Chain A
Amino acid sequence: EDQVTQSPEALRLQEGESSSLNCSYTVSGLRGLFWYRQDPGKGPEFLFTLYSAGEEKEKERLKATLTKKESFLHITAPKPEDSATYLCAVPPSPPTWGSQGNLIFGKGTKLSVKP
């Protein structure tokens, strides 16, 4: 069964304390892995797409990496404004319903950064 699991569910950091969020997936023939940020009361905001093992993408204090079974979102020297829920998503294994464009989402990691 296609599945996306994110850990930890919640993470509290002090400002400047670097850490990593994990996203593990079980799908056949990965066709991309997507990271989103979701602020309270808002829709998910696209951050990164990773397509192959070894690939890395960076944006400000965030760096996403991908292996054959999981992805990490590394947060370096976080600031309070990085507080949000971070979602990971992958397309399902075809020929599952919605395989033409659907994404399977994890439940997210809620990050809190205290000043």
Chain B
Amino acid sequence: NAGVTQTPKFRILKIGQSMTLQCTQDMNHNYMYWYRQDPGMGLKLIYYSVGAGITDKGEVPNGYNVSRSTTEDFPLRLELAAPSQTSVYFCASSKTGSNQPQHFGDGTRLSIL
């Protein structure tokens, strides 16, 4: 039972490079989320989606973009990477909205040098 799968697990980027973090879920969940987790800080929401074709900004969206063309996939795009984007990125999904638990992938550890 795969759940939420994120790739890659680790990545080092140079300043100004771009990349896409992949996230896929096999639970047929409608809602998907991207969070970042910095040392000593709580998880911060970057973007979320309530279904295919529908996305919206979270608390810290600057420097990121998302798309949701299918129920299963929710990629996160970093354009013009900056050192401030060094973080651990988690993708999560839930069946419906805020009264349902979210299920997380194991994260992508991204360093920007």
Contact = CB atoms under 8 A, between A and B. Distances in A.
B43 to A, nearest CB: 4
A43 B104 contact: yes
Contact-residue size bin, chain B (C-beta under 8 Å from the other chain): 20 to 34
A23 to B, nearest CB: 11
Contact of A4 (B33, B40, B42): B42
A78 B59 CA distance: 36
Interface stretch (A14-22, A69-77, A100-108): A100-108
A42 B99 contact: no
B42 A105 contact: yes
Contact of A98 (B45, B105, B106): B45
B108 to A, nearest CB: 10
A98 B90 contact: no
B74 interface: no
Contacts of A43: 4, 90, 92, 104-107
B77 interface: no
A109 to B, nearest CB: 12
Given A98-B45, A99-B98, 20 more contacts: A4-B42, A34-B101, A43-B90, A43-B104, A43-B105, A43-B107, A46-B101, A46-B102, A49-B101, A51-B99, A91-B98, A91-B99, A97-B59, A98-B58, A100-B50, A101-B33, A101-B102, A102-B33, A104-B42, A107-B40
Interface of A: 4, 31-32, 34, 36, 41-46, 49, 51, 87, 89, 91, 97-108
Interface of B: 4, 31, 33, 35, 40-43, 45, 48, 50, 56-59, 90, 92, 94, 96-107
